[in-house]
Amino acid sequence: MDAAMHMREALSLSYGSLMKATREKVETNAVLSEVCKEARDMADARNSYAFEAARLNDENTESVRKIEYLVEMTGKASDTLNARNEEARKNRAEVTVHNSILHDSPQQHPP
């Protein structure tokens, strides 16, 4: 009888240990489930940020290209304008010289 009682106590203790382990397993599963959800959310956010960073890098690259193009075109326009101004100065100097020659030459009077 003592052996049976001892076996029942051992079985009861084992069952209690099994129930405790099962509860801990359920608790651990709940914690791991929450941790996995947070990890997925963090991975989604990281991917979203990576996508946004790539988009912003592309946008920045395009903006730099536009700025470089505008700087180049401004330089060309400035060169063209400077050349036209120089040509206008030369033409004005020629006209001034021509007018001076016409003004200084003896005028012919009709008889």
Q: Please, how many CA atoms are within 13 Å of residue 2, restricted to the half-sphere of its CB?
A: 0
Q: How far apart are CA 59 and CA 63, in angstroms?
A: 6
Tell me what percent of the residues of the chain surpass a pLDDT of 70.
Answer: 94
Q: What is the pLDDT of residue 83?
A: 94
Please give the mean pLDDT across all residues of the chain: 91
Between residues 104 and 86, the one the model is more confident about: 86
Q: What is the pLDDT of residue 100?
A: 82
Q: What is the pLDDT of residue 13?
A: 92
Between residues 6 and 23, the one the model is more confident about: 23
Which contiguous run of DSSP H or E holds residue 15?
A: helix 2-104
* pTM exceeding the 0.85 threshold for the entire prediction: no
Q: How far apart are CA 75 and CA 67, in angstroms?
A: 12
User: What is the tens place of the pLDDT at every residue in 29-81?
Assistant: 999 999 999 999 999 999 999 999 999 999 999 999 999 999 999 999 999 99
What CA–CA distances, in Å, run from 93 to 13, 45, 86, 88? 117, 70, 11, 8
